Chains A and B, each alone.
Chain A
């Protein structure tokens, strides 16, 4: 099943043409990794999927982007963002306690019963492999956690609103290798129930977790294929050059 379908998608931020005629289909329950150098448009593409680009004052788009066969511009934006969660590059806890961080989205969507919220908080933290580390101190500030724990908290917070898709925007760029491994492990387990789009600067990470990999360069989609294919026999020379580390 196709989750997202982008057809000839162009976007601009003021005068800057950030995505140029991109065509991508994101399949349900896959991990699609997006790699490419800085300013290649990979994050801009990711932020199209939950319409976070709309916040940018000079944002314009043309072309087509469907979520579940429906134009993303016609879906109620809060509904789209509830279904398409996002984990940001830096761990970004809200200035609240651990518990309130996870409960925030749930409460915003109208849940008032404390018992139900507690159950969701516990379940989400378990899914993100953080429960055992924080269960005794749910009421301390989320900023007291380590970087890796904060990022898993952010994953749990995203899971708590029960999305269908999770967007990861370079989720491990600020983390050490052990924390990175934990986040990757979480991603692989989540694949069963969620569709994952992962933007990463780390080519090896794409190779480790991605089912398919897309290579972006200067706002264009250069190549999209099964991950093994991209890393063993890429069609385009530029893809080959990038994954061999010739530029980036």
Chain B
């Protein structure tokens, strides 16, 4: 008896330790970035264009650029991803073709982001002649986050109990009505989780935007979706490695803004999700 108790305590200890090991690096990253970056944050930093070869001034164009890119990626990827997920979970029969499609989507999630960058360059920038532009960058980021959105949306749709579908169909509702009025509303929290994940990934990636949109230095705001734009992750890369003598606090300040922007967008999605969950009645 005492032996079981002891092994249980040991197991708990290691489980707790593993969990702690996850929290510690995350906490450290946040603390270090805040500590080193906070002194750089002021109104000018957030609202001004970069000056003196990006060593002074602000990062406003990069903030706006990242915002546009993430927004564009979601606008493109969410509808397509959701429709594909509905097809796969509700309509697709279990045959070879559909199994290949599902496998392809899973594998797409594992493709390195720089490959998406090259793909975006070849397809959007060169072949479709969108040039290096917000449109090309958004579409490239959108394709990158599609598998995340499809996979999580599919799981969300499939987790809606089969019995709800049977009840709805047994009342004479059509399959589409059942999906539209019963399945989809109950899957929204899960779909939003996928969107949150995609959003964070799109905001933080450098490689896909490198060839498709990101401007090294562009001290003005983009005027249309066919303009190039600065973006936070690429700007961070540039001032950290390409431009000499940039003050450390400017680099960490940029990182802090990027981190905060992602957290802020996540927070908005989490609040929306929370409101849907509250309405959920089972």
Residues of A within 8 A of B (CB): 50, 52, 55, 57, 78-79, 81-83, 85-86, 88, 90, 92, 94-97, 104-105, 108-109, 141-143, 154, 157-158, 161
Contacts and interface: CB of A to CB of B under 8 A. Distances in A.
Contact of B171 (A79, A85, A97): A85
B172 A78 contact: yes
A105 B166 contact: no
B223 interface: no
A136 to B, nearest CB: 18
B83 interface: no
Nearest to B93: A57
A82 B280 contact: no
8 contacts: A52-B169, A57-B93, A81-B170, A95-B164, A105-B171, A108-B168, A141-B281, A161-B171
A240 to B, nearest CB: 35
Nearest to A106: B171
A57 B94 contact: yes
A69 B281 CA distance: 41
Contact of B281 (A55, A92, A95, A109): A95
Nearest to B166: A52
Contacts of B94: 57
Which are the 6 A-B pairs with shortest beta-carbon distances?
A82-B172, A105-B171, A141-B281, A108-B173, A81-B172, A86-B170
Contacts of A96: 281
A94 B167 contact: yes
A104 B166 contact: no
A154 B168 CA distance: 11
B181 A104 contact: yes
Nearest to B164: A94
Of the listed residues B94, B170, B281, the one surrounded by the most CB atoms of chain A closer than 10 A to its CB is B170
Contacts of A97: 281
Contacts of B172: 78-79, 81-83, 105, 108-109, 161
Nearest to A108: B173
A49 to B, nearest CB: 11
Contact of B167 (A79, A92, A109, A141): A92
Interface residues of B, number: 21
Contacts of B170: 50, 52, 81, 85-86, 88, 158
Nearest to B185: A95
If over half of B's interface residues share one DSSP class (helix, strand or loop), that class is named, otherwise mixed; here it is helix
Nearest to B177: A108
Contacts of A142: 281
Contacts of B173: 78, 104-105, 108
Contacts of B163: 88, 90, 92
A104 B169 CA distance: 11
B169 A94 contact: no
B91 interface: no
A174 B281 CA distance: 21
Of the listed residues A55, A90, A142, the one surrounded by the most CB atoms of chain B closer than 10 A to its CB is A55
Interface in B145-174: 163-174
A78 B178 CA distance: 12
Given A55-B165, A55-B169, A108-B181, 12 more contacts: A52-B166, A57-B93, A78-B174, A79-B172, A81-B169, A85-B171, A94-B164, A95-B186, A96-B281, A97-B281, A104-B168, A105-B173
A96 B173 CA distance: 16
A95 B233 CA distance: 43
A45 B15 CA distance: 51
A142 B280 CA distance: 11
Contacts of B177: 108
Contacts of A141: 281-282
B182 interface: yes
Nearest to A142: B281
Interface in B184-241: 186
A25 B281 CA distance: 41
A81 B171 contact: yes
Contacts of B164: 92, 94-95
Interface string B81-112: 00000000000011000000000000000000
A131 to B, nearest CB: 20
Contacts of A108: 168, 171-174, 177, 181
Contacts of B182: 94-95
